[in-house]
Structure 1
Amino acid sequence: MSETTVGESLHQLMHAYKRALRRAYADAGLDLTVSHIRTLKAIRGQMPCTAQDVAHRTQRDKAQITRLLRDLRDADIVVKAPHPEDRRSQMLSLTGHGRDLLARIDACEREAHEQLSSGMTQTDLAAFLRLSRLMIANLR
């Protein structure tokens, strides 16, 4: 198998998966961008946290994260509170609406994952994960 074939297969897989996710999000009436969703997941994963924590976790610059957080605060998905130890920072956490939204996002992703892995055994999935992690590590 040539490198072009591997690269093209990965490219097609990535885009097919992204289409499946966008379709599931649209079917569920979710109109958030992937960047908003990644930001929400980063907050959930380390809540409460600062914008700097989110930027580090998502590997985005703080200015991008600040814009995304403004959108999420305006939509009552994320709330800021004073940092107990650093007056220059704000602590971020999800509102009840934000937690509900993430539950809907998780359901959409489970749907896309089920579609993606249809007809595959646990052995197939384990092999895919092992190989994809190795490829990612090789490119770092």
Structure 2
Amino acid sequence: MSGTTVGESLHQLMHAYKRALRQAYAEAELPLTVSHIRTLKAIRRQAPCTAQHIAHHTQRDKAQITRLLRDLLDADIIVRTPHPDDRRSQMLSLTAHGQAVLARVDTCERQVHARLSSGMAPADLEAFLRLSRLMISNLN
């Protein structure tokens, strides 16, 4: 199999997956982009955390993260609190509303993952995960 075939397959998979997620989010009336959701997940994983941490974790630049955080703050999905050790920085965490939004996101993602893996044996899924991690590692 040529690298072009692998690359094209990965490209098609990525776009089909994103399209399915966007459709599931829309059907659940979640007005968030995939970037907003990745940001929320980073906050959930490390809360409380800083914008700098999120930028590093999501591999986005600080300006992009600042815009995403502003949207999430305006929607009362996250909250800022003073950093205990650095007056220039603020800590970010989810509000109760933000936790509820992420619970809905999790439900959508479980549905998409069920569709994605339909008809696949657990061993095939495990092999896919192993190979995709290796490919990511090779490129990083």
TM-score (normalizing by structure 1): 0.97
What one-letter code is carried by the residue in structure 1 that aligns with 2:69?
A: L
* Per-residue deviation, 1:87: 0.9
> 1:114 corresponds to which residue?
114
Residue 92 of structure 2 aligns to a residue whose secondary structure is: strand
* Per-residue deviation, 1:37: 0.6
* Per-residue deviation, 1:85: 1.2
Question: What pairs with 1:75-114 in structure 2 (closer than 5 Å)?
Answer: 75-114=75-114
- How many aligned positions are there? 140
Distance 2:41 2:104 in 1: 12
> 2:26 corresponds to which residue?
26
List, as ranges, runs of 4+ consecutive aligned residues in structure 1 with deviation greater than 4 Å. Answer: none
What one-letter code is carried by the residue in structure 2 that aligns with 1:22?
A: R
Residue 93 of structure 1 aligns to a residue whose secondary structure is: strand
* Per-residue deviation, 1:67: 1.0
> 1:61 corresponds to which residue?
61
* Per-residue deviation, 1:9: 1.1
Distance 2:98 2:12 in 1: 32
CA-atom RMSD in angstroms: 0.8
Distance 2:39 2:116 in 1: 24
Unaligned ranges ≥5, structure 1: none
What one-letter code is carried by the residue in structure 1 that aligns with 2:91?
A: M
TM-score (normalizing by structure 2): 0.97
* Per-residue deviation, 1:90: 0.7
* Per-residue deviation, 1:5: 1.4
Residue 91 of structure 2 aligns to a residue whose secondary structure is: strand
1:80-134 Cα shifts (integer Å, max 9, x gaps): 0111111111111100000000000011011000000000111000110111111
